[in-house]
C-alpha cells in the first residue's frame, strides 16, 4: 500500500510539517506494523522538516506538506530541494525595528541562481507582537532589503511568496528599499521613516506623494534577472475585491478607515503607473501600458505588494500550481492508493486553488481516494457535493477551541486512525 500525506498548516496552531507528522503517526497506528517490519527512511529529510519517504516490506508512506502561496510555501519548496542553502539578512521589520530574515538560494543549475523569498520573513504579521501590530504604521521595506540582497549576490531568478504580510502600503516600502525615490512638491519623501515614526499615518503619506523617480541602480541589477510572484490571491489592487476591502481587516485596519486607504492606494498607484517606463512583456512583442498594473490578477495580494512587483515586471504564479511543479507532485502521486490532506479550516475557498482542494483535484484525476482532516469544516454540504473527499473529519468535536488547539496533534492522529478504521479505501487492510 502507498499513501501520500500532504496537508497544509493549521494556521495559528500547527505548521504543515507538524500536521504531516501527526497524520503519519495516525497512519502508523492503523497499520499495526510489527517490530520486524519497521518503516525506515529511504530519503534523508531537510533540516527542520520530516522524512519525505518511509517504507517497509508492504507499505510506503510519502510525505509532502503542501503550500499554496500562503505563508510557509517557499520554505516547504526549499525543504524539498537538497541543493538549497539559507541566507540570513539584517532587515527592518514591518514596524521598522531591526530584525533578521532568511531566504533560500538554490544553485542547481549553477547558472540559474534561484532565490526563494518569503515576504512574511521580513514583513510578516507573525513577526510583530500582537499589541504592536498596526498596518497604518507598517511598510514592506524589509522585503525590499531581502530582494536587493539576493540581486547583489547574483540571483538570476527571484521568487517572492506573498503570504502572511503585515502591510497595506502598496509595496511602497519595498520600492524605497530598492532605491526608488518618492517626491512631494519636488522634494524627496522618506516614506519609510514617515510611516514608521508615528508622525503621520500611511494613508497621509501616500496621498502626499506626487512623483516617483525610478532607480537606475536597481534597473542595472535587474538586467538578466527575472522576478516572480507566488501567491494564493487573485484580487486586483482596487475595488470591492481589492487589497483594502477584502484583506485589510485581517491586518488590523478598522473598517471605518477603509475609504481613506482605498483613496490612498488609488492615488499611489496612479503616480507609480504614470512614471513606469514602457517595458516589453517577457516572451511577447507587447509593451505594458500605463494604468494597467493595478487591475491585473494578484495586484491586491499582500496589501498591494503584488501591484508593486508587477510594476517591476514580475510574473505572477498561482501558488498551488507553482508549488506542485517545484516539488514534483505528479511523481509523488504516481502509484498512490490513498491521499491524506487537511488544513485548519476547510471551506468553499479550499476548493478554489487552495492546497487541500488542489491536492484532492489531482487525486481525483487519477482516481485516488482522498480524506481530509481539519480543525473546522464550514459549508460541509458544499464540500461533500464536490465529491473530492472520501471523508472529512473535524478534530476536537465537543471540545473548546482552546482545548482542541492545545491537543491538535493528538487529535489529528486520532482522526486519521479513526477515518481509516471506519472507511473502505482501496489497498488498505
Of 82 and 362, the structure prediction assigns the larger pLDDT to 362
- Rounded to the nearest angstrom, the gap between the alpha carbon of residue 422 and the centroid of all alpha carbons in its chain is 34
Which fold is adopted by the domain 81-320? Glycerate kinase, domain 2 (3.90.1510)
Q: What is the residue whose three cell numbers read 544553485? A: 107
CB 61 within 8 A of CB 39: yes
Q: What is the pLDDT of residue 219?
A: 85
Could you tell me where in the chain the CATH 3.90.1510.10 domains are found? 81-320
Q: What is the strand order of the sheet 211-213 is part of?
A: 187-189, 181-184, 211-213
Query: Span 229-257, mean pLDDT?
Result: 93
CB 231 within 8 A of CB 163: yes
Q: Is 395 exposed, middle or buried (0-12, 13-18, 19+ CB in 10 A)?
A: buried
Q: What is the strand order of the sheet 114-118 is part of?
A: 84-92, 98-106, 114-118, 157-161, 226-231, 315-318
Q: What is the pLDDT of residue 253?
A: 96
Q: What is the pLDDT of residue 47?
A: 40
CATH, domain range 2-64+328-422: 3.40.50.10350
For residue 279, count other CB atoms closer than 10 A to its CB: 11
- How far is it, in rounded angstroms, from Cα 125 to Cα 142? 13
Q: What is the pLDDT of residue 428?
A: 55
16-52 per-position pLDDT tens digit: 999 999 999 999 989 876 555 555 554 434 344 555 6
Query: Span 266-281, mean pLDDT?
Result: 81
Weakest-pLDDT range from 66-70, 210-214, 275-279, 303-307: 275-279
Here the cell at position 96 is 521598522
Whole-Å CA distances, 429 to 4, 30, 32: 16, 9, 10
Q: What is the pLDDT of residue 290?
A: 52
* CB within 8 Å of 288: residues ≥ 6 apart: 276, 278, 279, 280, 281, 313
Could you tell me where in the chain the CATH 3.40.50.10350 domains are found? 2-64+328-422
290-309 per-position pLDDT tens digit: 547 999 999 999 999 999 99
- How far is it, in rounded angstroms, from Cα 77 to Cα 69? 10
CB 271 within 8 A of CB 209: yes
150-174 per-position pLDDT tens digit: 999 989 999 999 999 999 999 999 9
Q: What is the pLDDT of residue 34?
A: 59
Beta bridge partners, 106, equal 84, 114
- Whether 56 has a pLDDT exceeding 90, the answer reads no
Identify the band that residue 283 occupies on the pLDDT scale cut at 50, 70 and 90. Answer: low
| pTM summary value | 0.87
Weakest-pLDDT range from 198-202, 386-390, 416-420: 198-202
Query: Span 111-128, mean pLDDT?
Result: 90
- Whether 403 has a pLDDT exceeding 80, the answer reads yes
69-118 per-position pLDDT tens digit: 888 899 899 888 878 889 999 999 999 999 999 999 987 655 568 999 99
Amino acid at each position: 500500500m502507498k499513501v501520500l500525506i500532504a496537508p497544509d498548516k493549521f494556521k495559528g496552531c500547527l505548521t504543515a510539517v507538524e500536521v504531516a507528522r501527526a497524520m503519519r503517526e495516525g497512519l502508523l497506528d492503523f497499520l499495526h506494523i510489527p517490530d520486524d517490519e519497521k518503516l525506515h527512511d529511504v530519503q534523508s529529510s531537510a533540516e527542520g522538516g520530516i522524512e519525505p519517504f518511509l517504507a517497509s516490506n508492504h507499505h510506503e508512506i510519502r510525505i509532502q506538506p503542501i503550500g499554496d502561496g500562503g505563508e510557509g510555501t517557499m520554505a516547504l519548496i526549499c525543504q524539498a530541494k537538497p541543493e538549497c542553502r539559507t541566507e540570513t539578512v539584517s532587515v527592518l521589520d514591518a514596524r521598522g525595528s531591526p530584525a533578521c530574515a532568511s531566504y533560500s538560494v538554490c544553485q542547481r543549475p549553477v547558472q540559474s541562481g534561484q532565490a526563494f523569498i518569503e515576504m512574511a520573513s521580513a514583513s510578516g504579521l507573525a513577526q510583530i507582537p500582537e499589541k504592536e501590530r498596526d498596518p497604518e504604521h507598517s511598510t514592506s521595506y524589509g522585503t525590499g532589503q531581502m530582494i536587493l540582497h539576493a540581486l547583489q549576490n547574483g540571483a538570476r531568478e527571484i521568487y517572492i511568496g506573498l503570504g502572511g504580510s503585515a502591510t497595506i502600503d502598496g509595496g511602497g516600502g519595498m520600492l524605497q528599499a530598492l532605491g526608488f525615490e518618492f517626491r512631494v512638491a519636488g522634494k524627496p519623501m522618506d516614506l519609510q521613516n514617515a510611516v514608521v515614526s508615528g508622525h503621520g499615518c500611511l494613508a497621509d503619506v501616500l496621498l502626499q506623494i506626487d512623483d516617483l523617480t525610478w532607480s537606475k541602480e536597481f534597473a542595472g541589477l535587474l538586467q538578466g534577472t527575472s522576478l516572480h510572484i507566488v501567491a494564493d490571491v487573485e484580487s486586483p489592487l482596487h475595488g470591492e475585491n481589492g487589497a483594502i476591502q477584502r484583506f485589510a481587516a485581517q491586518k488590523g485596519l478598522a473598517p471605518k478607515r477603509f475609504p481613506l486607504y482605498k483613496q490612498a492606494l488609488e492615488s499611489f498607484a496612479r503616480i507609480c503607473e504614470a512614471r513606469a517606463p514602457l517595458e516589453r512583456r517577457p516572451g511577447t512583442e507587447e509593451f505594458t501600458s500605463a494604468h494597467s498594473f493595478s487591475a491585473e490578477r494578484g495586484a491586491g495580494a499582500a496589501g498591494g505588494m503584488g501591484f508593486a512587483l508587477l510594476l517591476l515586471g514580475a510574473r505572477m504564479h498561482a501558488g498551488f500550481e507553482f508549488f506542485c511543479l517545484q516539488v514534483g507532485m505528479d511523481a509523488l502521486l504516481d502509484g498512490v492508493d490513498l491521499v491524506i490532506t487537511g488544513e485548519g479550516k476547510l471551506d468553499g475557498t479550499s476548493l478554489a486553488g487552495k492546497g487541500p482542494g488542489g491536492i484532492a483535484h489531482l487525486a481525483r484525476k487519477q482516481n485516488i481516494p482522498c480524506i481530509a482532516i481539519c480543525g473546522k469544516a464550514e459549508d460541509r454540504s458544499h464540500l461533500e457535493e464536490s465529491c473530492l473527499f472520501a471523508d472529512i473529519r473535524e478534530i476536537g468535536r465537543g471540545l473548546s477551541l482552546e482545548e482542541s488547539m492545545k491537543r491538535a496533534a493528538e487529535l489529528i492522529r486520532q482522526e486519521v486512525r479513526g477515518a481509516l478504521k471506519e472507511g473502505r479505501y482501496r489497498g488498505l487492510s
